[in-house]
Amino acid sequence: MKRNISLLFGLLLVLGLLLTACNGEVETVIETVVVTVEKVVEGETIIETQIVEVEVVKTPEPEVKPVTLNWNLGTEPPSLDPSVATDTTSVDVIANIFVGLTMFDPITSEVIPSLAETWEAGTDADGNQTWTFHLRQDIAWVNYNPITNETAQAVDADGNPRFVNANDVVYGVKRTLDPATGSGYSYVLYLIKNAVQVNSGDEGYTLDDLGVVALDDWTVQFTLESPAGFFPAIAGMWVCKPMPQWTIEDETLGDRWTAAGVINTNGPYVLETWIHGGEMVLVKNPLWVNADAVQIERVEMLMIVEASTAFALYENNELDSTPVPLPEMDRVKADPVLSAEYYQAPDPCTYYYGFTNNKPPFDDVRVRRAFSQAIDRQSLIDNVLKGGQVAATSFAPPGMFGAPEPGTVGLGYDPVAAKAYLDEYLAEKGMTLEEFNALGITMMHNTSEGHARIAAAIQQMWKDVLGVDVIVENQEWAVYLDTIEKDTPLADEPHIWRLGWCADYPDENNWVHEVFNATAGANDLRRNCSDEICTEVTNSTFDELTYQAQAEQDPAVRAQLYAEAERILAEEETAYAPIYHYTIVSVTKPWLIRHYPALGGVDFFNWTIDWEAKLAATGG
C-alpha cells in the first residue's frame, strides 16, 4: 500500500508497519518515509533526500454500520418460490425481493402502479373481458454474491443486461398454472381464461391456451372467463410476479434456484443469507430503480416461533417491532413505556377451525354444529386474546366487499343447542359419550404459544359443554401445511385444525369462493368429497352461489349472493367454525417508522429508522 504525504516541503513515500490496533482504538504506526530537505550551503541551495522513520499516532475512521432493521419472521418461510408459496411468512419476504405488476398502497390499500405503469380493461372479439398492462422498462434482474457482497445485473447468453419484461410475467403466470409445478395457490388465477382446464390437466388444453400473452416486450394482456373489476389486484399477487426462467430451468439447480447467492430477483432488496431454521438477511438492492428512496439498508430476520422469546428480545432492544404475546397483553397496556409503543387496529384476517368434512364423525353436520356452537368466542377474546378482536360467525371480515356484518350470519355460542346436536347424533348411532371419546378426536395447530393457549381454552369449552375429550397436537409450520392439504391420506388428517386467512384483495371472491369452493378453491375442508383424498368432488348450492357471485356485475346482487353463501357455509353445512376477526396487536420501537399494510405483505422498503436514536439506545 502506498500513501502520499507532504512533509517539510517534500513528497513523502510511505510504507506503514502496524504496531497496535484494537477494537477501533488509536493505532501507533512506524512509517518509513522519504524526506526532501532544502539546505543553503555557501550561498547555494542544495536539495537532499533522507530516509527516516517516524512514529505516527492515528485515530481510525469509525466503522459505518448500515441502517439495519431487526425483525422476527416467526417461523421458517416454507418457500421463496412465488409459484409455490402459500403462506404470509413467505409472501412477506417475496414482497421485498420480487416486483409485481401492481401493488397495494400500504396505507389506503388502493391498487397502485409498480412494474406496470398503466392498465386498462377491454373486450376481445368473443366478448371476453381483457386487462392490458403497460410495463416500465428499467427494472433490472439482479444477482447478489454473498462472498463479494456485490449486486450485479443479470445478463443473457449474449452478455446483454436483463430487464424485467412482459415475457417474464407470462412465464410466471404459466408456471403457476402448470400442473407440473404443483402450486397450492393456482386457484387464485382461475379467473384467467382456460386456467381451470389447464391447471387440472384436462385433455386437449396446454399452457398456450391460457388467457395471458405478451403483446410485445413491454405489454401483457390477460383474458378472463368473466368480468372482474378487482383483477388488477390479483395481477399484482406473488403468483403473477415475473420469474427468472433461465435460473428456474437450470437443471443443475433444481429447487436450489431460490438459495442465497443463486436466486435472481428484481425488487428493492436482495437475499444475502438464508440459514435454514435460524436467520435470513436481506440487503438493499443498489440497482433498484428507487434505491435512493430505500433508507433501511439491511433487514436481519430471525425465525423464532415462541412469541415470549421474541418479546424478550424486543424488550432488550434486539428486535424493532413484534406482536404482543397473549400473557403480556395486560402488562403492556399498563406499562407507561410499552403502552406508548403499543399499536392495535383491525386486520383483514379471520381465525378459524376447519373440520375435515369427510372424516368420521365430522362427516355428520350435527357433530360439526355441536363443536362450533360450543365455542364461546367472546369469552375467548375477553379472557385469552385481549386485543379487541371481533367474534366471528362468518368468514370474510369487515371491509371486504360482500362481507356480512359480524354476528348477522352463522352460528354463535349456544351450549344448549350444541349439546342437543351431539346427543341426537349419539342416539342415532347407538353410541355412548365414552365410546365417542374413544374415537380419539384430534385437533391440530402449528407450533405457537398463542395457538396453544387458544386451543387449550377451546378444548376446555368442548369438555365443559359437550363432555368431549379432544386431543391437541401441534406441528412445525411447513410440515403442518402439508398435513392439512386435501390430498393427505385421511388417516393422517386431524379431525379439526386451525388456520387464519388474510385478504389477498378486498373482495368476497377471495374468501368464500377461493378458500372453500369445492371445485375452484383450496377446499382443505374436503367439502363434497366422494373419495378419501378429495380428488372427486361435487358442487353444492354454496358452490353454485359463489360462481354466480363471481360472474354477477350488479354490486348489490353480488353482495346478496355472498351473504347467502356465507350463511349456508356456516349454518347449513357448518363446514368450519369461524372464531374471530383479527386485530394487529404489536409494539414498535420509537425509532422505527413503519406501516401496517392490510394487503400485499410487509413493505420494509417504505420504512425508515432514526438510526442515531437506535444506535444510542442499543449502544451501537
Q: Give the 3-state DSSP-derived string for 119-165, with helices as H, strands as E and coil as C.
A: EEEEECCCCCEEEEEEECCCCECEEEECCCCEEEECECCCCCECECC
CA 107 – CA 599 distance, rounded (Å): 10
Contact 325, 587 (CB under 8 A): no
Whether 500 has a pLDDT exceeding 80, the answer reads yes
Per-residue pLDDT band for 21 (boundaries 50, 70, 90) equals: very low
Mean pLDDT rounded to a whole number for the chain: 92
> What average pLDDT does range 586-611 have in this prediction?
97
Q: Give the pLDDT confidence score for residue 60 in this predicted structure.
A: 66
CA distances from 32 to 2, 53, 54, 58 (A): 11, 4, 7, 15
Q: Give the pLDDT confidence score for residue 31 in this predicted structure.
A: 63
What pTM, to 2 d.p., does this model score?
0.88
Sign of the alpha-carbon torsion through 330, 335, 341, 345: positive
Sign of the alpha-carbon torsion through 426, 427, 428, 432: positive
The residues, ordered by sequence, that sit 6+ positions from 246 with a Cβ below 8 Å of its Cβ are 154, 156, 264
Q: Please give the single-letter amino acid code of residue 204.
A: G
Q: Among the listed ranges 18-27, 296-305, 370-379, which one has the minimum average pLDDT value?
A: 18-27
All three cell numbers of 77, joined, read: 418461510
> What average pLDDT does range 432-448 have in this prediction?
98
All three cell numbers of 392, joined, read: 366471528
> What average pLDDT does range 103-114 have in this prediction?
97
> What average pLDDT does range 45-57 have in this prediction?
64
Q: Give the pLDDT confidence score for residue 533 in this predicted structure.
A: 81
Whether 7 has a pLDDT exceeding 60, the answer reads no
User: Is it true that the peptide bond before 361 is cis, omega within 30 degrees of 0?
Assistant: yes
CB atoms within 10 A of CB 429: 13
Burial of 584 by CB count in 10 Å (0-12 exposed, 13-18 middle, 19+ buried)? Answer: middle
186-241 pLDDT, tens per residue? 999 999 999 999 999 999 999 999 999 999 999 999 999 999 999 999 999 999 99
496-502 and 442-446 strand pairing: parallel
The residues, ordered by sequence, that sit 6+ positions from 309 with a Cβ below 8 Å of its Cβ are none
Q: Of the candidates 347, 354, 305, 349, which has an alpha carbon nearest to the alpha carbon of residue 498? A: 354
CA 179 – CA 194 distance, rounded (Å): 13
Q: Of the candidates 347, 370, 373, 356, which has an alpha carbon nearest to the alpha carbon of residue 527? A: 356
363-404 pLDDT, tens per residue? 999 999 999 999 999 999 999 999 999 999 999 999 999 999
All three cell numbers of 390, joined, read: 371481533
All three cell numbers of 353, joined, read: 377451525
